[in-house]
Amino acid sequence: MKLKRFITSMLAITELELRKIRHDQSQIWMRLIQPILWLTVFGVTFSAIRVIPTGDYTYLQFLTPGILAQSVIFVAIFYGINVVWERDLGLLNKLMSTPAPRSSIVLGKSLAGGLRGILQALGILLIALVIGIDLILTPLSILGMLVIIILCGICFSSMSMALASIFRTRERMMGVGQAITMPLFFASSAIYPVSIMPDWLQVIAVANPLSYVVDALRSLLVTGDLSGLGLDVLILVASAAVLLFLASLGFKRMLV
C-alpha cells in the first residue's frame, strides 16, 4: 500500500514535468542545436584531421555516444536550478504539504530528467543517421541505450538537485551548473579515449559516472562488445542510488 502510494506520487511528479515539456516543445528543439553542432562541426573537423586515435572506428562513430551523453547531462543539470526556482516561488512548499513522500518527489523529478533525455537522444540518433554515421541499431541496442540514458538522466538530475540544496540560490546554481558540466564532459571518455589522457585526468575520468554512460552507449551502439556492459550498468545504478539519496536528504534542507 505504501509502495503503491510512493509510485503514484513519483509518477505524478514525472507527469507534471512531462506535461510542462509538452506545452512548450520548443525547448526540446532548442536543445538539439548544440549536439548537432558538436557532431557536424567538431566531429567532422576532428575526423578530417585524425588526431584522436579511435581504433577501428571512425571518429564520428566514437563521438556519437559522447554527444548523446552530453546532451542528457546538459538538460539534467538544470533540474537543480529549477528546484531552486520552485522553492523561491513557493511551489516546493506546497508540494511538500501533500502526503507524497519527499523521496518520491526527488525520484519523480529525476525520472523526468531521464525521460527527457530520451527525447533528446532520439533526436540526436536521427541526426546521426542523416549524417550517415554507422551505428548498431537493433531493437535490443536501442532498448539498452534508452535504459542507459534514463540512468544517466537520473544520476545527473539528482546530482544537480543535491547541489541545489547546498548552493540554494538561482544565481549560484547557474554558476555551479556551468562550472561542472564542462569538466564532467571533458573529464570523461566522451570526446577522446581515456587512454590518451594525462594520469591525473584519468583518475577523475574513472570516478566520473559520465564515463560509464559513454562506455555503455559505445558498446551498445558502436562496438557491439557487451562484455563490460554489466559493470557499467552496475556502477550507474549504484551512483544513481547514492545521488538520489543525497538529493532526498538535501530536499529536506531546502525548506527549513
Partner 1 sequence: MTEMIDNAVKVENLEKSYRKIKAVDGISFDVPEGEVFGLLGPNGAGKTTTIRILLTLIKPTSGSARIFGMDTLQQSDKIRQISGYVPQGISVDGEITAYENMLIYSKLYGLPPANRKKRINEILEYIGLADRAKDMVKTYSGGMMRRLELAQSLINRPKILFLDEPSIGLDPNARNAMWEMVRKLRRELGSTIFLTTHDMVEADTLCDRIGIMDRGKLVVIGTPNDLKATVGGDVVTVSAKNASLSEVIEQLGYQTIGEPSNGTADLLVKNGEKAIPRIVEAFKGKGVELDSVFLKKPTLDDVFLKYTGSRIDDGAGWAQAKKTRMTYRRMAK
Name the residue nearer to partner 1 (CB basis): 45 or 98.
98
- Taking CB under 8 A as the binding criterion, the range among 63-71, 83-91, 123-131, 169-177 that sits at the site for partner 1 is 83-91
Instruction: Determine if 222 is a binding residue for partner 1 (CB under 8 A).
Output: no
Q: Which residue has the cell 549504484?
A: 238
Residue 113 sits at φ, ψ, to 5 deg, of: -60, -40
* Amino acid present at 30: M
Do 209 and 231 contact (CB within 8 A), yes or no? no
**Nearest-approach distance from CB 93 to partner 1, in angstroms:** 5
Instruction: For residues 251 and 35, give the distance between their C-alpha atoms in angstroms, rounded to a whole number.
Output: 31
- State in angstroms the smallest separation of the CB of 102 from partner 1: 11
End-to-end Cα spacing for the chain: 29
Q: Does 126 bind partner 1 (CB under 8 A)?
A: no
**CB of 254 within 8 A of CB of 165?**
yes
**Residues in 13-32 at the binding interface with partner 1, rule: CB under 8 A:** 13, 15-16, 19-20, 23-24
Binding residues for partner 1, total number by CB under 8 A: 25
- Decide: 217 and 73 in contact? Cβ < 8 Å: no
Distance CA 194, CA 201 (A): 8
CB 178 to partner 1: min, Å? 20
Which residue has cell 571518455? 189
Query: In the structure grid, which three cell numbers stand for residue 85, read together?
Result: 526556482
Is 253 a residue that touches partner 1 (CB under 8 A)? Answer: no
Contact call for residues 42 and 64 (beta carbons, < 8 A): no
Closer residue to partner 1 (CB): 86 or 134:
86
Q: Which stretch binds partner 1 (CB under 8 A): 4-12, 62-70, 168-176, 194-202?
A: 4-12
Residues 87-116 that bind partner 1 (CB under 8 A): 89-91, 93-100
CB of 99 to partner 1, least distance (A): 4
Q: How far is the CB of 160 from partner 1 (least distance, A)?
A: 19
Residue type present at position 243 = L
- The answer to whether the beta carbons of residues 221 and 201 sit under 8 Å apart is no
Nearest Cα to 75, choosing from 16, 21, 126?
21
For residues 36 and 174, which CB has a smaller minimum distance to partner 1 in the complex? 174
Indicate whether 7 belongs to the interface with partner 1 (CB under 8 A): no
Contact between 174 and partner 1 by CB under 8 A: the answer reads no
Residues in touch with partner 1 (CB under 8 A): 5, 8-9, 11-13, 15-16, 19-20, 23-24, 89-91, 93-100, 255-256
